[in-house]
Structure 1
Amino acid sequence: MSATDAPSRPVTDQLDTALMRWAAAQLLPEESATPPTGEGLEVLALLLRGQIQAAIPEIEHLSSRVSEDPVTYGAWLQVQVARRRLAATAGPYEVGLLWLARRLARSVIELADSHDRLMEVLS
């Protein structure tokens, strides 16, 4: 679907970027954070996955409404990185899940930033 074929949906702020940033902050920065473990880590990883899955279509929709190439290209790039991270699997040990969850957290922050930049351009 090209930008001209994009459905005519009103531009609204569908994402709670503050919640997205809060969830990601539970794992970042790596140097100072004491990450959750066990079930808490699993729940946080699922939350981050859900936030990415919700953010991708919203950012794609907003990008279709913005004609500024640097903004849309940056958002597109972040969506591609997030999709790759969603497709990744954790290793068999908790450290593998922590590694993946931190990458998902980075994508959540990057998608929240892209969303905010797109909303700023559209406002």
Structure 2
Amino acid sequence: MNEIFKSMIEERFYQNIFESLQNEIMDKYDQYDLALRANVVNEVLEASLDNIELLRILDIKQDAEEISFDILVSCDIEIGDYAYRETILESVCQWFKLSCSAILQNAELKNFSVDGIEAYNK
């Protein structure tokens, strides 16, 4: 059941999820300690999202028509530093947990939203 739900979310809302994560990463990259995962970049001065993979759906809750759930997402993030007049770029992986909600209406999800994003560290 979770795999079917994950496929449906991925198919219908991938772009919404990508954009939410892209905005979060570009605006708040300094809050996620991305340099800890880097081999070359010492200080992250910029970050952008390259790719995402939805790993699993967690904690599905339904209250009448409203449904809430968490999505575990693996992100490939390009981070950048500047040293000796050169831009240094490196790709790192970071997982995020997204808190999401939607309205279930006529067997369809509507009004999908990402309500919260937090780093997920094992």
- Structure 1 and Structure 2 fold alike (TM over 0.5): no
* Higher Rg: 2
Higher RCO, 1 vs 2 (CA within 8 Å, ≥6 residues apart): 1
Q: TM-score under structure 2 normalisation?
A: 0.30
Structure with greater proportional strand content: 2
What is the TM-score of this pair, normalised by structure 1? 0.30
